[in-house]
Amino acid sequence: MEEKKEYDLTIIYDYNEHPDIIAGRCDNCGNAQFKSSVKSGKFLRKCGMKKII
């Protein structure tokens, strides 16, 4: 059985360093729906864990 990786949900991950395991899905929970925002020209995707795209 594959072990699930634990992510620190207080960290904002960079997509270039941590690309999606399954394209378009949250690495932590597997959801495909995100709350998103843009600040200082950076796209932030939120769903439990946060990634700058």
pLDDT at 38: 95
Q: Let me know if residue 13 belongs to a domain.
A: yes
pLDDT at 5: 77
- Candidates 25, 34, 28, 31; CA nearest to 6 is 28
Q: Let me know if residue 8 belongs to a domain.
A: yes
Name the strands in the sheet holding 42-47, side by side, starting at the edge strand that comes first in the sequence: 12-14, 49-52, 42-47, 35-39
Q: Let me know if residue 5 belongs to a domain.
A: yes
pLDDT at 48: 86
Strand partners, 45: 36, 51
Give the number of domains in the chain: 1
Q: Let me know if residue 52 belongs to a domain.
A: no
pLDDT in tens, 5-50: 789 999 999 999 999 999 999 999 999 999 999 988 999 999 989 9
Parent domain of 1: 1-33
